[in-house]
Amino acid sequence: MPTGVVTAPAGRAGEVPAHARRRRRTLLGFLLAVVVLLTACVLSLMVGARTIAPADVLHALTHYSASDPDALVVVGSRLPRTLLGLAAGLALGLAGTVMQGLSRNPLADPGLLGVNFGASLAVVVAIAFLGVTTVSGYVWFAFAGAALAAGLVYAVSAVGREGATPVKLALAGAAVSAALGSLITAVMLTSRVSLDRMRFWQVGSLAGRGFDVLWQVLPTLVAGAILALALGRLLNGLALGDDVARGLGQRVGLARALSAVAVVLLCGSATAAVGPIAFVGLVVPHAARWVVGADYRRILAFSAVIAPALLIACDVIGRVVAPPGELQVGIVMAFVGAPLFIALVRRRKPVGL
């Protein structure tokens, strides 16, 4: 062997390269998530106060008849509920992923920008002072409140030479959320009607929502989803720190602004439609990182599949655990999400891009 020539050690015969193993794991995880999502959707159409066989569900979807009681249940009640679960789950999963990337905080969730409290305050005001009584009636109040609260948080955190840093975003979000929470309590204490109606909305539910609610929030939700899925490369840069991101040619301020807009569109739409549901935007990004690694392009795609599967599965569980009634999905999500989040955090390992 010539002097000075160093050869790399030969790999074992048949050994699979690390990048190939990672790619195969990502593909298998994504396919499994799709199967879980489809299964959850089928169960959502079948399970309820009365279980309907798969063949009858298919017949109701393909040959709808107003005289068929199965068709009335499947198409009139369970189908809009399932589609709303798909939309809200996707929105909350993407919003949580973007929020954690924006703030560089693995414990961040969409509520960090004050979205939930802003939407809740707007709904309370609409119920107490404007006489709004239906879900479809206060959807746009909730969305407007979410957008205004998020805009206020971002404006407060942007004051100063460094702009809206992750730490300032978190502090401003906590301060604004606390202030809005006090206003919500004050309004509800002065109006018994708003208290009763607000309790039903704030617990988070897919029940009692029809196609009218879905169509109202779908345009902003789709726009937010497209924007969020396009932010993967920018979030990868932000995860490396502002200086590194600037060195890579990224405009950090623009990346944060686009991320904040995506969170408002997504979480505002979901919160307006189904109420403030916790843990989806917190748990799902952690599960995605565990499966696909730290690349936000993969995390966003995986979260868009597994988040609606988790939300719909919790809704199905809520229908069967307390017959003849049901538990709202927000309550079931809290029971499922808390231990799941603890388990994911305990086994979480650092991963590289």
- The torsion defined by the Cα of 4, 9, 10 and 15, in degrees rounded to 10, comes to -150
Asked whether 110 and 141 are in contact (CB, 8 A), the reply is no
* Mean pLDDT for the stretch of residues 111-129: 83
Indicate whether 244 belongs to any domain.
yes
**pLDDT value at residue 168:** 81
Average per-residue pLDDT in the chain? Answer: 84
Least confident of 53-57, 60-64, 163-167, 173-177: 163-167
**pLDDT value at residue 191:** 72
Look at 60 and 337; give whichever has higher pLDDT: 60
Helices 115-129 and 135-158 meet at what angle, rounded to 10?
140
- What pTM does this model have? 0.87
DSSP per residue, 64-122: --TT-HHHHHIIIIIHHHHHHHHHHHHHHHHHHHHHHHHHT-TT--GGGGTHHHHHHHH
Cis peptide before 80 (omega within 30 of 0): no
Indicate whether 19 belongs to any domain.
no
Interacting residues of 189 by C-beta distance below 8 A, sequence separation 6+: 195
Indicate whether 2 belongs to any domain.
no
Number of H helices, E strands in the chain: 15, 0
Interacting residues of 311 by C-beta distance below 8 A, sequence separation 6+: 85, 88, 89, 92, 206, 277, 280, 329, 333
**pLDDT value at residue 3:** 53
- Residues of the chain above pLDDT 70, percent: 90
Q: Of 48-62, 146-160, 239-253, 328-342, which has the strongest mean pLDDT?
A: 48-62
Indicate whether 239 belongs to any domain.
yes
Q: Is pLDDT above 60 for 7?
A: no
Domain coverage including residue 130: 24-346
State pLDDT tens for residues 309-345: 999 999 999 999 887 788 889 889 988 888 877 776 6
State pLDDT tens for residues 86-97: 999 999 999 999
Provide the CATH number for the domain around residue 147. 1.10.3470.10
Indicate whether 170 belongs to any domain.
yes
Closest residue by Cα to residue 338 from 283, 262, 295: 283
Q: Is pLDDT above 60 for 15?
A: no
Q: Total structural domains in the chain?
A: 1
Closest residue by Cα to residue 99 from 227, 107, 216, 82: 107
Closest residue by Cα to residue 104 from 228, 276, 283, 259: 259
